Amino acid sequence: MDDAVAWFETALALDPNYLPAQIRAAEGLLETGELGASERLYRRVLDRSPVEPRARLGLGRIHAARGELPKAVQQYETACTLNPGYAEARYALAMALRELNLSEKAQQHLALYRQSPTGQPSIEDPVLQRVLRQEAGADTYTRAGVERVNAGELELGAELLERALELNPRDEGASSSLLIAYGRMGDQSRAGEHFRRSLKVLPASEDLHFNYATILARDGKFDEASELFARVLEINPQHADSYANLGYIREESGDVETAVDHYRRALDHDPSNPTARFRLGRLALAQGLIQEAVGHFRAALHAARDQRDQLLYGIATASAMAGDFAEASRIAREAHASARSSGNTALADAIEADLVSFQQRAGSGQ
């Protein structure tokens, strides 16, 4: 670490405002116990970029090392607000809250941490981008592009993936990831054009077919999406997500019997499939089959990446239907925190309204 700090400081001697080196040097100084020097660098970063979550996490760790836990919590909370998926900040916040005996809040943040235990903000690095443009091969562009897409930097990620495909049009990972980027940007035109172009060189790519089918389904083009999901199953008859999505399309069209059959086929190949479990849970709940519904929701929680708030809400609703309003309140609070963290404000508002009712009925002993 001492050697690393020396190199970061050399970089800063060449360019004192080079943000990546400032952040890395501050992190290194913190690791070596140089709290004062580390704090000065972090504050230099925040003077130029007040929304830099890594600097907020670093200041929080400095406060924690000095025994200033309330100040540490403030910095951790700011880091999590700036980047809700920042795993290190979320975990540090949970541990600090636990030390302050705020156990309930600590558990809420631990639950959010478990949703994305590896998430972290990227650092804008113009020097790295110049190196990539000049020296990189297709694989390097693909890795960098996927990293940027996962960090939410969709335009930059798409640019890097497009460059990868210029160098290697048969790079299936770059092609499928570029579709994801276009889909998340809501750019249906580029997504369709890219899919048709890529299909000429990768006609049997299940990822290409599946990703574009997902984009079409989200746009309400169910007939075209169904054809592509069916094509995925021709390529790979064990593709559980395609069965689950076909089930969803059939359910939306009113054919519940066929939908349930597709959901169960998905579970044959992936017993924890979140989409199939969630939809089967909702159908069971509508029929008053509370235990069956809870079983589906809980099975999906282990595999869900972006449905955790909905699954918890389903369990809370089932608990209320069973008359256990104290349990319904507890789980609804966790669902509400998850929905807020993921930016799903409509769902958070719906949960909040039910939570008030659950708490009232729990308090009255109903």
Grouping H, G, I as helix, E, B as strand and the rest as coil, residue 169 is coil
Q: What is the pLDDT of residue 364?
A: 60
Question: With a cut of 50, which residues of the chain have pLDDT below it?
Answer: none
Whole-prediction pTM: 0.61
- DSSP secondary structure of 182-231: HHHHT-HHHHHHHHHHHHTT-TT-HHHHHHHHHHHHHTT-HHHHHHHHHH
Q: Please report the pLDDT score of residue 1 as a whole number.
A: 85
Pull the structure tokens for residue 56: 């907020």
Rounded CA separation 247/357 (Å): 33
Phi, psi of 61 (to 5 degrees): -65, -35
Q: Which pLDDT score is estimated for 223?
A: 95
pLDDT of residue 35: 93
The full DSSP string for 226-288 is HHHHHHHHHH-TT-HHHHHHHHHHHHHTT-HHHHHHHHHHHHHH-TT-HHHHHHHHHHHHHTT
- Exposure string for 22-40, b = 16+ CB within 10 A, e = fewer: bbbbbbbbbeeebeebbbe
Give the pLDDT score at 365: 56
Residues 299/268, Cβ–Cβ less than 8 Å: no
46, 128, 205, 279 from 23: Cα distances, Å: 10, 15, 41, 44
pLDDT of residue 185: 92
CB count, 10 Å around CB of 119?
Answer: 17
pLDDT at 2: 85
Identify the residue whose tokens are 């631990």.
110
pLDDT tens-digit map of 106-158: 999 888 888 777 777 877 787 877 766 655 578 888 988 999 898 888 999 99
Q: How many residues does the chain have?
A: 366
DSSP assignment of 298-344: HHHHTT-SS-HHHHHHHHHHHHHHTT-HHHHHHHHHHHHHHHHHTT-
Give the pLDDT of residue 236: 96
Q: Tell me, what's the pLDDT at 118?
A: 73
Give the pLDDT confidence score for residue 111 in this predicted structure: 87
